[in-house]
Amino acid sequence: MQLVLEKRVERSTKIAILSPLLAIALTLVTMSILFAILGKNPVMALYVYFVEPLTDSFTLMEIAVKATPLVMIAVGLSLCYLANVWNIGAEGQFIMGAVCGSYLAVVTNGTDPGPWVLPAMLVMGAAGGALWAMIPALCKVRYGANEILTSLMLVYVADLIMDYLVRGPWRDPKGMNFPTTASFDPVATVPTLFETGRIHWGALAALIVVALATVMLGRTIKGFEIRVVGAAPRAARFAGFNSKKLVVFTFAVSGALAGLAGIIEVAGPVGVLQPGISPGYGFTAIIVAFLGRLNPVGILIAGLFLALTFIGGEGAQISMKIPLDLTKVFQGILLFYVLACDSLILYRIRLIASPKKAAHGTA
């Protein structure tokens, strides 16, 4: 007897819905075992991770703050991935968006230039991200260069450009040589939504992005084109869809969204341009995009869920002294189970008689 994976003739809708739930259930079981091994009460640990952050306005707002850039970037990436375009460099587009938008904040610092600054920064941030994404897009369209490599490598270039600027020309003259710009003026800062807490208008922008992407993918020809080119390139060619133009389009949109997320993050919660503005948002967003099954609403949920694990993990460090590493283990296990369970959508597990024995029988 042995277990084999057998390809399903048809995709199972029931499994498609059940798969993420199964993955979460398996993650919870595994984590409970790990908590127990560490000598922590699993029920209490899971409570601290998943329930406690939802019971308090401060942590709820912080979840939104953390999820905002993740959701924005991931929605853009999902368009690429649906079209079979592999943009891995959202981190670089995020940074270049932050850099381009910050330019205005730096040159107008202390001059009280008026309320046009912030909107102009947002536009420049989106443009900066989109232009940075154009490099791998054009290299792919024109020269057939693999966009996975080019977009990823440009992350490090972007990082170094930012590094150069904040250590050199843009460095805060009063900052004791530390690599950071001066704090942005209030006119160059994304306002918070409420008196207390850090939740800012960027969170609403992320919701708008989710809504627009849902409409575009579900109701427009462009959305249809993206999905056809991704799922059946030959059919798309017969239908007259231009896959090269689509590469440029999806890269531009995802670059612009990553750039917008970058400038919102810098002009919002951070308030200065400095190395370390992104704790890897551009890469985490790839996980968010796939956890959300490349669907905008799914991405919103996945982004909030991942943010919850970050905040809950911090709470667990404080109240239960659970090490940070366990939070990372936890996120890794979750992704592992999600991918593993997804294979059940296309395949099914069957128990069959060992083929070896069968072979003996006929011989």
Q: Is 17 in the site for another protein (CB under 8 A)?
A: no
Q: Is 125 in the site for another protein (CB under 8 A)?
A: no
Which residue is listed with tokens 């693999």?
146
Of residues 60 through 119, those in contact with another protein by CB under 8 A are 62, 65
Q: Is 176 in the site for another protein (CB under 8 A)?
A: yes
Q: Is 165 in the site for another protein (CB under 8 A)?
A: no
Cβ neighbour number for residue 46 with a 10 Å cutoff? 17
Q: Is 274 in the site for another protein (CB under 8 A)?
A: yes
Cβ neighbour number for residue 4 with a 10 Å cutoff? 11
| Of the residues 91, 172, 225, 265, which one makes contact with another protein according to CB under 8 A | 265
Q: Is 19 in the site for another protein (CB under 8 A)?
A: no
Long-range CB pairs of 229-236 (<8 Å, 24+ gap) are 229/83, 229/84, 230/81, 230/82, 230/83, 230/84, 233/84
Note the helical H segments in the chain.
Answer: 13-37, 42-46, 57-82, 90-107, 117-143, 147-167, 201-219, 221-231, 233-238, 243-265, 281-291, 296-320, 324-346, 355-362
Instruction: Work out whether strand 2-7 and strand 347-352 pair parallel, antiparallel, or are unpaired.
Output: antiparallel
Q: Are 246 and 229 in contact (CB under 8 A)?
A: yes
Reduced to 3 states (helix: H, G, I; strand: E, B; else coil), residue 160 is: helix
Q: Which two tokens stand for residue 58?
A: 């401060």
| Of the residues 137, 262, 315, 344, which one makes contact with another protein according to CB under 8 A | 315
To another protein, the closest distance from the beta carbon of 29 in angstroms equals 13
Q: Which two tokens stand for residue 232?
A: 């059946």
| Of the residues 186, 233, 279, 355, which one makes contact with another protein according to CB under 8 A | 279
Q: Which is nearer to another protein, 62 or 225 (by Cβ)?
A: 62
To another protein, the closest distance from the beta carbon of 352 in angstroms equals 33
- State the Cα–Cα distance between residues 128 and 262, nearest whole angstrom: 10
Residue 269 φ/ψ, nearest 5 degrees: -60, -30
Q: Is residue 294 left, alpha or beta, with left meaning phi > 0 and alpha meaning psi from -120 to 50? A: left
| Of the residues 4, 29, 33, 43, which one makes contact with another protein according to CB under 8 A | 43
To another protein, the closest distance from the beta carbon of 323 in angstroms equals 8
Q: Are 24 and 331 in contact (CB under 8 A)?
A: no
| Of the residues 15, 22, 32, 47, which one makes contact with another protein according to CB under 8 A | 47
Q: Is 183 in the site for another protein (CB under 8 A)?
A: yes
Q: Is 214 in the site for another protein (CB under 8 A)?
A: no
Q: Kindly give, in sequence order, each residue whose CB lies less than 8 Å from that of residue 143, ignoring residues fewer than 6 positions away.
A: none
Q: Which is nearer to another protein, 45 or 338 (by Cβ)?
A: 45
Q: Is 248 in the site for another protein (CB under 8 A)?
A: no
To another protein, the closest distance from the beta carbon of 321 in angstroms equals 7
To another protein, the closest distance from the beta carbon of 90 in angstroms equals 16
List the one residue out of 345, 348, 325 whose CA is nearest residue 38.
325
Q: Which is nearer to another protein, 57 or 354 (by Cβ)?
A: 57
Q: Is 171 in the site for another protein (CB under 8 A)?
A: yes
Number of residues that bind another protein (CB under 8 A): 38
Q: Which is nearer to another protein, 36 or 346 (by Cβ)?
A: 36
Q: Which residues bind another protein (CB under 8 A)?
A: 41, 43-44, 47, 51, 58, 62, 65, 163, 167-168, 171, 176-179, 183, 198, 265, 269-272, 274, 276-279, 311, 314-315, 317-319, 321, 323-325
